[in-house]
Chains A and B, each alone.
Chain A
Amino acid sequence: VSLFSCKYTVRLLSRSLDRALGPGPWLVMRLHLLMCVPCSRYRRHLLLLHDTVRRLGESSLDHPDGDLPALSAEARTRIKNACENPPS
Chain B
Amino acid sequence: MEPPRLQETEEPSPGSWVDQHGDFLYRYALLRVGRPEVAEDLVQETFLGALRGREQFRGDASERTWLVAILKYKLIDHLRRSRRERPLSSLGEDEWENELFDRTGHWKKSPRRWTIPGVALEQAELQQALSGCLSKLPARLAEAFSLSEMDELPSEEVCKVLAVSAGNLWVMLHRARLRLCACLEKSWFGNEEKHS
Partners in one complex: yes
- Residue ranges of A at the interface with B (Cβ–Cβ < 8 Å): 1-2, 5-8, 10-11, 14-15, 17-19, 37-39, 41-42, 44-46, 48-50, 52-58, 60-63, 65-72, 75-76, 78-80, 82-84, 86-87
Please indicate the chain B residues that have their CB under 8 angstroms from the CB of A76 in the complex.
18-19, 22
By the criterion CB–CB under 8 Å, are A63 and B124 in contact?
yes
Provide the residues of chain A in CB contact with B88, threshold 8 Å. none
Given A11-B174, A83-B47, A83-B51, A46-B28 contact (CB < 8 Å)? no
A53, A69, A72: which contacts B150 (Cβ < 8 A)?
A53
Q: Are A78 and B44 in contact (CB under 8 A)?
A: yes
Interface residues in B, total, Cβ within 8 A: 58
Nearest 7 CB-CB pairings of A with B: A5-B105, A83-B14, A7-B105, A38-B110, A14-B174, A7-B101, A60-B127
B170 pairs with A66, CB closer than 8 A: no
Judging by beta carbons under 8 Å apart, are A79 and B110 in contact? no
B111 within 8 A of A: yes
Pick the contact of A45: B27, B40, B184 (CB < 8 A).
Answer: B184
Contact status A71-B126, CB under 8 Å: no
Q: A18-B148, A52-B127, A83-B17 are in contact. Are A69 and B97 (CB under 8 A)?
A: no
Tell me if B70 is interfacial: C-beta within 8 Å of chain A: no
